[in-house]
Structure 1
Amino acid sequence: MDNLMIKKIMTEDEAYQGALTLRDKVLRKPLGIRLEQEAKSSEEDAHHFVVLLENKVIGTLFLIETESQIYQMRQVAVDQDYQGKSIGKQLVVEAEKWAKDFGVKKIWMHARQNAWPFYEALGYVYASDEYMQIGIVHKTMEKQVS
């Protein structure tokens, strides 16, 4: 897929709506949960990244500061039709590059159990025991980026 583009966007960008739609489809609907309408207002200070294929959002995540120079990675999603093609890996790596350049020291996330191998392969380590969140087993994972 030579025509993939990964870019950082703002909540005002047209691609943000595509990111919300993708997050709803991949992360929420399978659990019977709707993406909250207030997402935009609570995410305005976040750093959003999308993967575009012919102007269609096929991957998304955002980073939000939780402590000075420490950011949480949230809402990582890749369209089911494109999973297993290294798109998620490229997206996370690009977000990490931005974070390192921006002076971020550590990125952490609440990782769903099915995503643990994905994050381990990218160098994330476990920072907690298992816990339940939205009815799914999670662990907190983290990575030093600078």
Structure 2
Amino acid sequence: MSTIVQIRPITATETYPLRHQVLWPQETLEYVKLNSDDQGHHFGAFSNGLLVSVISLFIEGNVARFRKFATRPDCQGKGIGSQLLRHVMEYARTKGAKRIWCDARAVNEAFYRAFGLEPEGNRFHRGTIPYMRMARDLNDPII
């Protein structure tokens, strides 16, 4: 059963604490900031008024990329991140994107496949963490 959440645009700065806590807690806060953050569309999912999931979307031409997708550990598995990802994919489509992609942690491959994203190319590592590029066309219905 999905948790009811409110999804709305937020600032890049508002994404930093969750990016840091969930994705790279062993690094400095500076590590989770992107040089392109000022060009992104940042969204947050709020549950009971608390920011519990964040994602950043970057659109170049008709291709969109989402990055720094992070959901608080105690809120994972409740459908919150799924609602946020669906929202961002639909938003990208309304902005003219025909394709969307991300660099996904390999451990999350099944999650992204559930949204129609498929692996492209070879796995690679950031530090000791294996990643893969995953992508899909946005012409097809968003699951």
Output the TM-score relative to the length of structure 1.
0.85
d(CA) in 2 for partners of 1:50, 1:109:
18
**Partner AA of 1:5 in structure 2:** Q
- Indicate the SS of the match to 1:90: helix
Q: Tell me the CA shift for residue 37 of structure 1.
A: 6.7
d(CA) in 2 for partners of 1:26, 1:96:
21
Output the TM-score relative to the length of structure 2.
0.87
Corresponding residue for 1:106? Answer: 99
Q: Is residue 6–residue 46 contact of structure 2 (8 Å, CA) maintained in 1?
A: yes
Q: Tell me the CA shift for residue 40 of structure 1.
A: 6.7
Please, which of 54, 67, 82 is the counterpart of residue 75 of structure 2? 82
Corresponding residue for 2:17? Answer: 21
Corresponding residue for 1:91? Answer: 84
Instruction: Output one character per residue of 1:74-107: Cα deviation in whole Å (capped at 9) or x when no partner.
Output: 0010001110001111110000111111111111
Identity percentage of aligned residues: 27
Corresponding residue for 2:47? Answer: 53
| Misfit runs of 4+, over 4 Å | none
- Indicate the SS of the match to 1:60: strand
1:35 lines up with 2:36 in the alignment: no
d(CA) in 2 for partners of 1:76, 1:55:
19
Instruction: Output one character per residue of 1:43-69: Cα deviation in whole Å (capped at 9) or x when no partner.
Output: 01101111012332100001113x421
Q: Tell me the CA shift for residue 123 of structure 1.
A: 0.5
- Indicate the SS of the match to 1:97: helix
Corresponding residue for 1:7? Answer: 8
Alignment RMSD (CA, Å): 1.8
d(CA) in 1 for partners of 2:79, 2:29:
25
d(CA) in 1 for partners of 2:36, 2:93:
24
Unaligned 5+ segments in structure 2 are none
d(CA) in 2 for partners of 1:60, 1:38:
12
1:70 lines up with 2:63 in the alignment: yes
d(CA) in 2 for partners of 1:38, 1:76:
11
**Partner AA of 1:26 in structure 2:** V
